Amino acid sequence: MGRRILIVDDEKNTREGLKWALDGKNYDISLATDGQEAADLLSIQPFDLVITDLKMPVMDGMELLNLILKKYPKTIVIILTGHATVENAVEAMKKGAYDYIEKPINIDDLNLLVEHTLLEKNLPEEDENLRQSLQRQYSMESIIGDSPAMKKVFEKIIHVAPTRATVLIQGESGTGKELIASAIHYNSPRWNKPLIKLNCGALTPTLLESELFGHEKGAFTDAHRQKIGRFELADGGTIFLDEISETSLDFQIKLLRVLQEQEFERVGGVKTVHVDVRVVAATNKNLKVCVEKGTFREDLFYRLNVIQINVPPLRERREDIPLLAEHFLKEFCAENNKPNLRISPQAKALLQGFSWHGNVRQLRNVIEGMVVMATGDEITPANLPEEIRQKSEKEQTITIKPGISLAEMEKKLIETTLIREGGNKAKVARILGMGRKTLYRKMQKYGIK
């Protein structure tokens, strides 16, 4: 029997949704509608972990936490909280709760937190197993790509992960910058410490400062309690600052000090807080251009840009599109119980010929939609969105730039024709007027897969 987990929430959908999310992980899961029912279950059998909401009738989450700390000190508690009650969750952590997770809950984050929690508190003998599990989940294999451009990204991740160097990830939206940040963290010596993520572009400068550095009670209107910031929560681990280019110049000065000194004061506070945090930042803009325009501080740029990882857009690594399409097909076929579904060579060719301005995220969404709507066992060009069918045909052309060599032109011609013909080499050889062996030899020469 697996580890015992008790989920406590007065909302039925939340209880059952969390149970569904954790099913299949060899856990023995029980459910309770409020703190009192949870207390009754705890008196009957031991639990390794209790995941509880704060606001509940009869006995709320804070009362339940106090009971568990007093009577069942070996039981770990994770708090469920909405944005409005994060401060209460932090207060619960000060009392003895292990961690909290915000609603709406990300299933992957939940599973990682539960695995990490059980390891940290109850399962020291499985430390190495979980470390390997996390590293597999965020390994190079989890970032799909076999193109030369992605191999360069993998090499940088491998070299930088074991260090404490600050990393700047640049790439268009949807290219997988957050996945790369996770790979860096979980393959580093900090893997068993927190990875805290924040989208800087989603918050106003005032809120951003409070979120990252925290605030003291009375620091501003509605600051009724002390708030622990993300930098404190990330102590010993890594903080991922997405869309760093969207921050104000005033905020950038404060962030620069944290990077240089590893210290700060909470908003409205005078006590200096010292932390040990590795910073990984990301942006969909060219920060050097932002510096030239005066919208980003040059000194902060150099401090962030210790190691730079540039993630190529999908249109610059088209050879990875079939790999990604198959990966997402497998994922969504499993979710929708369609194990025999496949993508026809013609449909793959159209997918590979499309520009994908939304990058990997857009491709993933398209594959999901096609799987859901598929009625047969094969996804054909007719099942593709009209935009992809039309634009792929238009984009299967060769642009000849002055100065390009004949060898480069020949490579582009072979690649484009292979894409258009769905990888049918015999047909491509006939179209290009060469023997099949000659085509194979040229493909090998130019590194075409």
Which tens digits make up the pLDDT trace of 133-190? 555 555 555 688 888 889 899 989 989 999 999 999 999 999 999 999 999 998 888 8
Given pLDDT bands bounded at 50, 70 and 90, which one contains residue 74?
Answer: confident
In this predicted structure, what is the pLDDT of residue 269? 85
| Whether the bond into 46 is cis, omega within 30 of 0 | no
CA 145 from centroid of its chain's CA atoms: 16
Which one is predicted more confidently, 359 or 411? Answer: 359
How many angstroms separate the CA atoms of 241 and 213, rounded?
A: 13
Tokens for 226? 């002390």
pLDDT at 120: 59
Global pTM?
0.62
Check residue 51 and give its pLDDT.
95
Q: What is the 3-state secondary structure (H, E, C) of 220-287?
A: CCCCCCCECCHHHHCCCCEEEEECHHHCCHHHHHHHHHHHHHCEEECECCCCEEECCCEEEEEECCCH
pLDDT at 296: 96
By CB atoms closer than 10 A (0-12, 13-18, 19+), residue 178 is middle
Q: pLDDT per residue over 4-16, tens digit each?
A: 999 999 999 999 9
How high is the pLDDT of residue 279?
96
Residue 66: both structure tokens together: 């106090």
**Is the pLDDT confidence value at 283 over 90?**
yes
Q: In the prediction, which pLDDT does 133 show?
A: 58
- Judged against a pLDDT cut of 50, whether residue 124 lies above it is answered with no
Exposure b/e, 294-320, CB count within 10 A at least 16 = b:
ebbbeebbebbbebebebbbbeebbbb
pLDDT for 244: 96
Which residue's structure tokens are 């610059």? 316
Which one is predicted more confidently, 311 or 116? 311
CA dist list (Å): 235 to 207, 226, 230: 20, 18, 9
Ordered by where they begin, the domains of the chain are 3-126 (3.40.50.2300), 138-312 (3.40.50.300), 315-395 (1.10.8.60), 406-446 (1.10.10)
- Assigned token pair, 23: 């099913």
Residue 123 is predicted with a pLDDT of 44
Q: What pLDDT does 134 receive?
A: 55
Helix (H, G, I), strand (E, B) or coil at 359: helix
Rounded-to-integer distance, Cα 205 and Cα 215, Å: 14
Asked whether the beta carbons of 266 and 214 are under 8 A apart, the reply is yes
pLDDT in tens, 215-231: 888 777 777 777 888 89
Mean pLDDT of 399-420: 77
pLDDT tens per residue, range 261-275: 999 999 888 889 999
- Section 335-351 average pLDDT: 88
